[in-house]
C-alpha cells in the first residue's frame, strides 16, 4: 500500500491549502500520517469501499484532520478521529450514490414510459419501440447493414468484421459509430412520425 508520491510536509501544506493531494509514504513511527495511514485505509476497506474509494476516503480523512488541527492528538485519539471521519465520509458517499441511483432509476422509468406512450404502447412493454428499431435496422444497406449484422447479430470482433468488409478495424469502429448515430435519429424520427399519425 506504499505507492504514494509526496512527503508528509507536502501533504500537510496541501491539506492546509485545500488542494487535492496524495497520501505520503510512511516515513517514521513519530509521523502521525505514517502511523495511521494503513489502519485508516484498512478501516475504509472494511466498511466496504473498493480500493480506489478507500484511498480517496483515507486521503480526505487526513485532510479533514489537518484542517481541524487534529494532527497533534494522542495516537489513540487521532486514530479514533480518523475512523469516525472515514466512516462519516463513506456514509456521505453512500447516501450520494443512493440518491443518484434512485434519480437515474426514476428518470429511466419516466423516459421509458414517455417513449412507450409516444409510440402508442399503452402497456409500457416497449414492443412499439422494438418494432420501430427493427424497421430502422431493416432500412440499412451495404456495409452498414453487414457491420451491424456481424457485430450485434453474431457478436463478431472488429478485426473479423474488418476482414469480412475489406476495412481496417478503425474503419469498422467509425462505420459502427456513424450507423448507431443514424439509427438513433431514425428511431427518434420514427417515434415522431408515429405520434403525428
pLDDT tens for 7-57 read 556 555 554 554 444 444 444 456 778 888 889 999 999 998 899 999 999
Whole-number average pLDDT of the chain: 80
- Give mean pLDDT, residues 57-82: 92
Tell the residue number behind the cell numbers 467509425, with chain if given: 174
Q: What is the mean pLDDT of residues 163-178?
A: 94
pLDDT of 98 over the 60 cut:
yes
- The rounded distance, in Å, linking the Cα atoms of 36 and 8 is 12
So what's the pLDDT on residue 131? 81
pLDDT of residue 187: 82
Q: Which residue has the higher pLDDT, 132 or 122?
A: 132
Q: What is the pLDDT of residue 1?
A: 41
Please report the pLDDT score of residue 197 as a whole number.
40
- Report the predicted TM-score, pTM, of the whole model to 2 decimal places: 0.46
Location of C-alpha cell 424497421: 135
> Do you know the residue count of the chain?
197
Closest to 113 measured CA to CA, from 105, 101, 103, 123: 123
- The C-alpha cell at 37 is 495511514
Q: Choose between 169 and 130: higher pLDDT.
A: 169
Provide the grid cell at 195.
405520434
The share of the chain scoring above pLDDT 70, in percent, equals 75
Give one DSSP letter per residue of 80-110, joined into a string: HHHHHHHHHHHHHHHHHHHHHHHHHHHHHHH
Amino acid at each position: 500500500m506504499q505507492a504514494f508520491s509526496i512527503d508528509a510536509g507536502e501533504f500537510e501544506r496541501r491539506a492546509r491549502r485545500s488542494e487535492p493531494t496524495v497520501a505520503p509514504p510512511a516515513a517514521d513511527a513519530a509521523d502521525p500520517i505514517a502511523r495511521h495511514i494503513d489502519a485508516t485505509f484498512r478501516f475504509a476497506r472494511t466498511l466496504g469501499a473498493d480500493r480506489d474509494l478507500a484511498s480517496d476516503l483515507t486521503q480526505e480523512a487526513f485532510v479533514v484532520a489537518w484542517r481541524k488541527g487534529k494532527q497533534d492528538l494522542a495516537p489513540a485519539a487521532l486514530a479514533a478521529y480518523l475512523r469516525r471521519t472515514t466512516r462519516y465520509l463513506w456514509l456521505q458517499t453512500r447516501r450520494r450514490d443512493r440518491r443518484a441511483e434512485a434519480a437515474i432509476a426514476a428518470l429511466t422509468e419516466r423516459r421509458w414510459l414517455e417513449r412507450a406512450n409516444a409510440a402508442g404502447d399503452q402497456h409500457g412493454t416497449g414492443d412499439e419501440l422494438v418494432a420501430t428499431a427493427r424497421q430502422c435496422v431493416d432500412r440499412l444497406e451495404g456495409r452498414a447493414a453487414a457491420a451491424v449484422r456481424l457485430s450485434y447479430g453474431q457478436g463478431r470482433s472488429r478485426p473479423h468484421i474488418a476482414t469480412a468488409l475489406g476495412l481496417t478495424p478503425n474503419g469498422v469502429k467509425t462505420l459502427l459509430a456513424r450507423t448507431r448515430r443514424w439509427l438513433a435519429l431514425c428511431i427518434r424520427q420514427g417515434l415522431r412520425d408515429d405520434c403525428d399519425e
